[in-house]
Amino acid sequence: MSDSGQARPKVGLFVTCLVDLFRPQVGFAAVKLIEEAGCDVDVPMAQTCCGQPAYNSGDSADARDIAQATIRAFEGFDYVVAPSGSCAGMLKKHYPQLFADDPDWRARAEAFSVRVHELVSFLTDIMGLDAVAAAHPATATYHDSCSGLRELGIAAQPRALLASVEGLTLKEMRDPDVCCGFGGTFCVKYSDISNAIVEKKTQTIEASGAELLLAGDLGCLMNMAGKLKRQGSAIEARHVAEVLAGMTDTAPIGGKG
């Protein structure tokens, strides 16, 4: 953005609970990318989680309370951006549904929804980014996380930006659009089934020949990285934002080796 007098868009970062607790550098990578794309970023302190654990467990009352708090916390921002297709999908697609019987909040949730974007698609589709200034010499494979893919249509955007990363080669795994078996609380409630699903996933990841696994959702990444590590795989896992922001000098998710 130039100094043509146009104000820089104000972006509120929805950090997501997993990034906050387990992988802060994804949050800092997101801040860096959004700032470099020409926006001002702030992080409202009154945020915790998007509410999916409650919502998907049938506890819509708590989900509604959390949704209201989140909507309030992000008032005044031009955009609300989350480094997760799943959480962005919750904010964008499901918050309005939570207030189906409450016209006032429904309207607020819909107005909020319009401003919500997943990080990578925000960079490409809203800020018009088509390349990043990052380098990471590796052969990577990209997993399409389900909510990002099917609720928000995110598939081409991360691949396009990754193609601009110097030294990075993208090798597709078979069926990158098939679920990794995470599913939020599903992975502990039905851990045996979840395990069977992630085992098939890590087979396809291994078969791709890539040395680096990328995805846009930390939940899926922790599941797949955790399984790869348990299987003794040398494949490393990172959030796509880390690579796009050039922040890959730290340990990968679940450590090395």
Partner 1 sequence: MEVTSPTFKQNAVHALHDAQLQKALGNVRAGFIDKRRKAADALPEFDALRDAARDIKDHTLAHLDLYLEAYEQKVTDSGGHVHWAETAEDARRIVLDICRMQNARTVTKGKSMITEEIALNDFLQLAGIKAVETDLGEYIIQLRNEHPSHIIAPAVHVNKDQVEADFRRVHDYLPDDRDLTEPETLLDEARRVLRAQYFEAEVGITGANFLVAETGSSVIVTNEGNGDLTQLLPRVHIVIASIEKIVPTLNDVSQILRVLARSATGQDMSVYTTLSTGPRRKGDPDGPEQYHVILLDNGRTSMLGTEFQDMLRCIRCGACMNHCPVYHAVGGHAYGWVYPGPMGAVLTPSLIGVDKGGHLPNASTFCGRCESVCPMRIPLPKMMRHWREREFERGLNPATQRYGLKIWAAFAKRPRLYNFVTSMAIPLLALFGGRKKRFSFLPLAGGWTRHRDLPAPESRTFMQQWRERESGKQRAAA
Query: Where along the sequence are the contacts to partner 1 (CB under 8 A)?
Result: 15, 17, 19-25, 27-28, 43, 45-49, 51, 53-60, 62, 65-66, 69, 73, 97, 146-147, 150-151, 177-179, 181-184, 186-198, 200, 222-223, 225-227, 229-230, 250-251, 253-256
Query: Considering the complex, what minimum distance in angstroms separates the CB of residue 131 from partner 1?
Result: 27
How far, in Å, CA of 164 to CA of 3, rounded? 26
Closest to partner 1 by CB, 139 or 195: 195
CA distance 52 to 185: 9
Can you read off the two tokens belonging to residue 242?
């880390």
- Of 159 and 200, nearer to partner 1 (C-beta) is 200
Closest contact distance (angstroms) between CB of 66 and partner 1 is 6
* 65 neighbors 35 (Cβ within 8 angstroms): no
Give me the least distance between CB of 90 and partner 1, in Å please: 11
CB–CB of 162/240 below 8 Å? yes
d(CA 137, CA 164): 12
**178 CB neighbour count, 10 Å cutoff:** 15
Q: Which is nearer to partner 1, 42 or 166 (CB)?
A: 42
| Residue nearer to partner 1 on the CB measure, 25 or 248 | 25
